[in-house]
Amino acid sequence: MRSRTVLCIRKIGPSEEETLDNTNCLTHRPIEKEPCNNQSCPPQWIALDWSECTPKCGPGFKHRIVLCKSSDLLKTFPAAQCQEESKPPVRIRCSLGRCPPPRWVTGDWGQCSAQCGLGQQMRTVQCLSYTGQASSECPETLRPPSMQQCESKCDSTPISNTEECKDVNKVAYCPLVLKFKFCSRAYFRQMCCKTCQGH
C-alpha cells in the first residue's frame, strides 16, 4: 500500500492558504491509500523446526524440513523454484553426551553335563553395546566365566547282588577312570562298575 495526505484548504491570498475541516470541502474527497507493487514476490525458503538429536547419545544429527513457499506462505513450490544457494541447512551435528560403554551380558546357566556327580555347565557371554549390538570393546579382564563346575546328586542305592555289575555301554572311558583313580567317586563307580570292581 502507499498513502498520501488529503487536506481541505482554502486560499486566502496569492500565496497563502488555510486548512479547514473536511466538511467544508463539497467535492469528492480523493483517496488517501491505494495498493501498489502488485506483482508477486519470488518464492522463498521456509524452514520447519529441528528434530531431536539422534542417536540419543554420542555424536549425531538433527534434521528439519525446508520448503519452497510462496511469499504469502499459502503455496508450496518445487525446490527448483527457490534459489539453491540461499537454502537453509537441513541437517546439523549434535551430541547428547557420551554413550554408556559396552558391557558383558551373560545368559542363564545350562544343565549340568553329568547326570550324577561332577560335570560342567555352560552359559553365553556376549559383549554388547548400549543398543544391544555385538561389540568387541569390552575389557577382556572383566569377562565373566562361560563355564563352571557343577555336581548332580547321585543315586546312592547300592547295586544289588542280583544285578549284573557291568560298565555302561555308552561310557567309553572306564579305563581312564581306573587310571586316574576316579573309582572312589559314586558316579564313576556306578558307570564303570565292572572296571572299578575291587578297586
Q: Which residues have C-beta within 8 Å of that of residue 179, sequence separation ≥ 6?
A: none
pLDDT higher than threshold 80 for residue 160: no
- In the block, which residue shows the cell 557420551? 98
Q: Which residues, in sequence order, are bridge partners of residue 167?
A: 192
The phi, psi pair for 142, rounded to 5°, reads: -100, 5
Distance CA 181, CA 195 (A): 11
Q: What percent of the chain has pLDDT over 90?
A: 52
pLDDT grade for 162, boundaries at 50, 70 and 90: very low
Model pLDDT, residue 40? 79
Of 170, 167, 165, 169, nearest to 178 (Cα)? 167
Q: Which residues of 73-83 are buried (b: 16+ CB within 10 A; e: fewer)?
A: eeeeeeeeebe
The phi, psi pair for 110, rounded to 5°, reads: -80, -175
Q: Which residues have C-beta within 8 Å of that of residue 30, sequence separation ≥ 6?
A: 6
Do residues 170 and 184 make contact, with C-beta atoms less than 8 angstroms apart?
no
pLDDT in tens, 165-199: 777 755 557 888 888 888 888 777 778 888 887 77
Least trusted range by pLDDT, from 58-67, 110-119, 140-149, 164-173: 164-173
Least trusted range by pLDDT, from 97-101, 130-134, 163-167: 163-167
Model pLDDT, residue 159? 47
More confident residue, 102 or 72: 102
Distance CA 138, CA 30 (A): 85
Average pLDDT, the chain: 87
Q: Which residues, in sequence order, are bridge partners of residue 8?
A: 20
Model pLDDT, residue 169? 58
Do residues 112 and 152 make contact, with C-beta atoms less than 8 angstroms apart?
yes
Rg of the chain taking only CA atoms, in angstroms: 47
Model pLDDT, residue 69? 95
pLDDT higher than threshold 60 for residue 92: yes
pLDDT in tens, 24-46: 998 999 999 999 887 778 999 99
pLDDT higher than threshold 90 for residue 127: yes
Q: How many CA atoms lie within 13 A of 42 on its CB side?
A: 8
pLDDT higher than threshold 80 for residue 51: yes
